[in-house]
Amino acid sequence: MHRKGNEVTMKILMNHIGYARCASKHAVIIGQDGDEAGKFRIVEGATGSVVYSGTAVNSGPVNRWKDWYFWTLDFDSVQEEGSYYIECDTSAGNLRSYEFLIKDNLLGIQSLSDVIFYFKAQRCTGDFDRADHHIPFAGDRKGRHDLHGGWYDATGDYGKHLSHQSHTTYFNPQQGSFTAWVLFKAHELLEDSGNPRYFQFKRRIMDEAMYGADYMYRMMAPSGTFFRSVKRVGEFMKAEDRVISFQYKGSSTQFGDAATAGEEVITDESYETGFRQGAGFAIAALAAASRYSYPGDYTREQYLEAAKEAYSYLEENNHRYLNDGRSNILDEYCTLTALTELYKASLEPDYLKKAGESADRLLEYLHSSGDWKDYWSANDEGRPFFHPSDAGLPAIALLNYLEIEKNKDMRAKVLETVKKAMQFELGITKEVSNPFGLARQLVQSSEGSRYTAFFLPHQTEASPWWQGENARLASLAAAARLLSKHLDEQDNLKAELQVYADHQLNWILGLNPYDSCMLQGSGRNNPEYHFVYGFDYMNCPGGICNGITGDPSNEEGIEFFTKSIPGVIDDNWRWGEQWLPHASWYMYAVALGDLN
């Protein structure tokens, strides 16, 4: 939608790439109160033939979302492959959309290749990689290590991180090690799909997965766990300035000096990781690598032995790496994923037993409080688990565990719990006007107030860190698709989950109020990342940006700065910067689509 003087132009919003043939098909008209939308038609692009007619449904406004007004269009029954456009009769005249595709396995065929190329483009190479062959520590720790390889973390960050935000207790994102693991998982899913069109995709994914596993192997610290981060120093960094960085337990240096820098003693452990800080998925990636004969820098036996060693060490010592010394839901879903992969690789009964114990602990995090029933709690006290990138991981860790668990009672307990958790997600998503089907979340502010919202609050333990949540949306799409795989066709929840998953991916791919496809190089209106100094840091084709957020001045509002505005937003990283987890989660969700 755009304005011309006082005139408001209505617009049809849709997934810019298109829709899978048998998937849900949803579009939205954006306008203002007082506008009208009526009959719409799906028209075949080549012939002009109308293949479907329907009526736009008045959805109304979304609270605090500007002065926008919405109507929804659904056309699930259109399943003939081809190129189409939408026409709609409105008070602004006859609206016409851009053309879009309907095709089997559309997102897999049309977008996965780009995402795989994105990962390869993010490989650390050249003078940075040469420096990382013998990289020193920040601070007083002595020695150098060979930590070459890995992927750059983000458009504006040429560092390499397993995680960050460790001082926040509940917001550690899974970063580089998650990418390594999810590449193996995507390969596994595409293999299981039996789709012959993925033959070369699978080879390229496996090449990238082994590259990631090689880096995880080198990231192992002498203690038995992993180094957390290779840091680039400064915006105009030199290769020789790169260091293995440490982290404080009580504060962060991300936005300036750490508040607790003068109070904390930096030890060797400050440079290393616990399960929730990336170690769990590093173990999982190494174990997964050991199951394949594809060439890497190390042997299958070396990958598996490294994974076993790291798990054995952290089983006893994980608490030493945590800012509060206490495991929470993040540790548990990382631990369970590691154990699942260790058992798949080794078939040792002890890993199956420990995975069952971990799954039981994770199941205990399902909580009810007041009006909210069956949500994931982050801790033992009922604090809601909400996360800007990994909201789907509790469900996904449990569902992947079912690959190794054959006990019928345990399988039933896991499925019942995950169903309850996902029904909670569906319920809060429907509780307000929500024409896009955007996943909502139960959140808690830093002051302790709990409420449901579209976007991450600006005031949490992670403040001032907040950003767009495309990874969160894709993680929930993945969780929904993975659960639906376990449900009978007659189960109404299966169809609900599939639509919910489609809505999240649609949002990323252009079906949002800003008509912006956030997968670079696809669709229209791709965001630009404008660093404060200009165009030094450019987004990469195949990558996905952070995305849309709440309005900085209004928690219930919405905002998306697709480029910097001098004097207003000098660095639009919160919205426009690409980040590994977004593409990683998107790849996982899309790969799961072929199994449904």
At 3 the pLDDT is 41
What confidence tier does 562 reach under pLDDT thresholds 50, 70, 90?
A: confident
Helix (H, G, I), strand (E, B) or coil at 26: strand
Q: Hey, what amino acid is at 253?
A: T
Euclidean distance between CA atoms 382 and 390, whole angstroms: 18
Going by DSSP bridges, is the β-strand pair 50-55/160-161 parallel, antiparallel, or unpaired?
Answer: unpaired
Over residues 326-330, the mean pLDDT reads 99
Q: How confident is the model at residue 533 (pLDDT cuts 50, 70, 90)?
A: low
pLDDT tens-digit readout, 225-262: 999 999 987 777 799 999 999 999 999 988 888 899 99
Domain boundaries, the chain: 2-103, 106-593
What percentage of the chain exceeds 70 in pLDDT?
97
On the question of pLDDT at 6 being above 90, the answer is no
What pLDDT is stored for residue 282 in this prediction? 99
Mean pLDDT within 486-503: 96
Q: How many CB atoms lie within 10 A of CB 379?
A: 18
Does the CA dihedral 279-445-258-250 come out positive or negative? Answer: negative
Q: How far is CA 188 from the centre of its chain?
A: 19
Give the pLDDT band (50/70/90) at residue 199: very high
What's the CA gap between 155 and 59, in Å, rounded?
37
Determine the average pLDDT of the residues in 210-233: 97
Tokens of 550: 């709440």
- Say what the pLDDT of residue 531 is: 75
Q: Is 340 helix (H, G, I), strand (E, B) or coil?
A: helix
Give residue 257's pLDDT: 87
Averaged confidence pLDDT in the chain: 96
Q: Give residue 441's pLDDT.
A: 99
Question: Which pLDDT does position 583 carry in this prediction?
Answer: 99
Reduced to 3 states (helix: H, G, I; strand: E, B; else coil), residue 407 is: coil
Q: What are phi and psi of 537, to 5 degrees?
A: -115, 110
Predicted pLDDT at 563: 82
The per-residue pLDDT for 585 is: 99
CATH 3.30.420.40 corresponds to the domain 106-593 = no
| CATH no. for 2-103 | 2.60.40.10
pLDDT in tens, 132-191: 999 999 999 999 999 999 999 999 999 999 999 999 999 999 999 999 999 999 999 999
Percentage, residues of the chain above pLDDT 90: 91
What average pLDDT score do residues 545-566 get? 92
* pLDDT value of position 530: 83
Q: How far is CA 53 from CA 60, 77, 581, in A?
A: 21, 11, 39
Answer whether 2-103 and 106-593 agree in fold: no
- Tell me if the pTM is above 0.95: yes
Q: Are 579 and 546 in contact (CB under 8 A)?
A: yes
Could you report the per-residue pLDDT of 51-100, keeping only the tens digit for each?
A: 999 999 999 999 999 999 999 999 999 999 999 999 999 999 999 999 99
Q: How far is residue 2 from each of residues 30, 348, 391, 515, measured CA to CA in Å?
A: 10, 61, 33, 11
Work out the average pLDDT over 535-556.
Answer: 93
pLDDT at 565: 80
Write out the two tokens for 198: 């993925």
DSSP secondary-structure letter at 271? G
